[in-house]
Structure 1
């Protein structure tokens, strides 16, 4: 039987797969309340133009709130994990009980390398959130785009759940102190290398997008949309979404390839980012008549 968090990620993956298929192949008639609600909940930013009720929208620039929360919350969880592994301090009772309820049997397995894997993944997750926060605050130029309040609340909950998902992979009898780094394996190194590679490209893509709205001196001169070029934009419309998927795959590799819960989370990220990429690609194709026809939406050469 799947643990609670595994079931959650499976359910979310299935929901976003269904939404993706509905958007691609089974679009309902353009009129009607159900279509309006569906489009209202899957679109944000530039793809949301003219969609939804203003009273239920928040600015897209509030994306930074997700990363503020993640840096604080997952930084707190990282501190507790470091104390548990290196100072033999048990998790607080409330957290231990919560992890037991969410993680089920995974909390009781004593698998040596899992402690180091969880520590590395939580560090990577925190670094990812910190970088994205810096990009939101210092690099990205947000237009007047919006997202639905449900999407906003969902995003906040997501960054709480993902840190708990990592901690649920820590065995109850975790290795302590100096023995921890004796567990390092080849897949830890491979995962970190892929993480760095994907993060570098994602950062470059965010810089390219931001520069479309700036002049050569770095001053913001417009909030419109233009066709981006350079780096992975030469292959896909949304390379930053593709890089996001690779980042989560790199964490799955760091877990040793065999962590079912994390692969279910990766499936959710895949379908979530694919849906966003399809909508974004559709926006570019409809808005720019000379948009490069060889570009895929999400995954180079495939989709």
Structure 2
């Protein structure tokens, strides 16, 4: 049995590691492919003007998209699709990773002793032993719980965005966005949560599948071992390091200001009576930049990077894509405001206070 267990572990580890390497490579490649065209189009060269205009046509939506340009567009209210997808997908990743972390990678020695005893009482589950052996070091267990923490922050973010789509924003019936921008959003909210947990997501769902198969065999005999323990799930999060909590504070700062700025934008649409009438927004960070909701989005993703410890290049690339994409969109919004309103405050920058 020991020889069989070693063989199974070696084969499973090799397969998962191969898939994980491919997944990480694909995520990093797509973030780079999405960011590079924006950086190239931003270069101060006359020969790139047409390329820059093409990218802007993909990014335009709402007020900055010409009302006559409806080819290859969808209603801006389709933003709802982004956040429904993001909520379902992020919740799935969070639940799977959190369960895996609790069962296989406890941070305390007491939990390790308990799980060892539980494993012994259930006859020495081979499935449990194989998964636990891959995350035997303290650093590996910590990284799994760090992924749980990042997904929890992402969950908080997408929950609010979904709420705002229903309760805050009142999209004009004529507001449109380009189909390329729509598909980019669908991809983003699939890949972004996944980029936060590549370290353990495959192992987590492989473990969940094994647990389901084992439950079908052992049935109710497993129930006493798998009783829900809320504090047991929460306690390891309190043992995370200063990077995680510093990142959470930065995330909360951006999250709170985006909430306020979105409320301001939503109130403008109410005053506009669902027409194409626009007014200048004031309040909060709108006093210094034209797109503070984009600035706060950049800040909260920077918070995720800090909370990750800054050691995962995939999350760096995710942040790079967010920054490049939002700076491009903010610059176009700023130009639109300046063209639209003669009395637009000249002290406002596009997205970075006092800089750009």
Q: Give TM-score, length-normalised by structure 1.
A: 0.81
Q: Check if 1:19 corresponds to 2:75.
A: no
Q: What CA RMSD, in Å, does the superposition of the two structures yield over aligned residues?
A: 2.9
Who is 1:159 aligned against?
Answer: 189
- Residue among 45, 49, 52 paired with 2:66: 49
In structure 1, list runs of 5 or more residues that go unmatched.
90-107
Instruction: For residues 37-89 of structure 1, give each alpha carbon's deviation from its aligned partner in whole angstroms, at most 9, with x where no partner exists.
Output: 4442132221111564x241101111111001000111111111112111349
Instruction: Tell me the distance in 2 between the aligned counterparts of 1:16 and 1:290.
Output: 30
Instruction: Tell me the distance in 2 between the aligned counterparts of 1:183 and 1:25.
Output: 54
8 Å Cα contact 1:109-1:171 kept in structure 2 = no
Q: Check if 1:119 corresponds to 2:148.
A: yes
Are the structure 2 counterparts of residues 124 and 26 from structure 1 closer, same or farther at C-alpha, using a change threshold of 3 Å?
farther
Instruction: For residues 7-36 of structure 1, give each alpha carbon's deviation from its aligned partner in whole angstroms, at most 9, with x where no partner exists.
Output: 3222222122223337x966636xxxx777
Larger radius of gyration: 2
Q: Which moved more, 1:224-233 or 1:145-154?
A: 145-154
Are the structure 2 counterparts of residues 109 and 280 from structure 1 closer, same or farther at C-alpha, using a change threshold of 3 Å?
farther
1:177 CA drift (Å): 6.5
Instruction: Tell me the distance in 2 between the aligned counterparts of 1:204 and 1:158.
Output: 24
Q: Give TM-score, length-normalised by structure 2.
A: 0.70
Instruction: Tell me the distance in 2 between the aligned counterparts of 1:247 and 1:154.
Output: 20
Q: Which moved more, 1:130-139 or 1:80-89?
A: 80-89
In structure 2, list runs of 5 or more residues that go unmatched.
1-20, 106-136, 205-231
Where 1:147 maps in the other structure, the secondary structure is strand
Pairing of 1:38-117 with structure 2 (within 5 A): 38-50=55-67, 52=69, 54-88=70-104, 111-117=140-146
Who is 2:335 aligned against?
Answer: 282
- Residue among 218, 231, 241 paired with 2:294: 241
Hey, which of these two has a bigger chunk of helix by percent?
2
Who is 1:145 aligned against?
Answer: 175
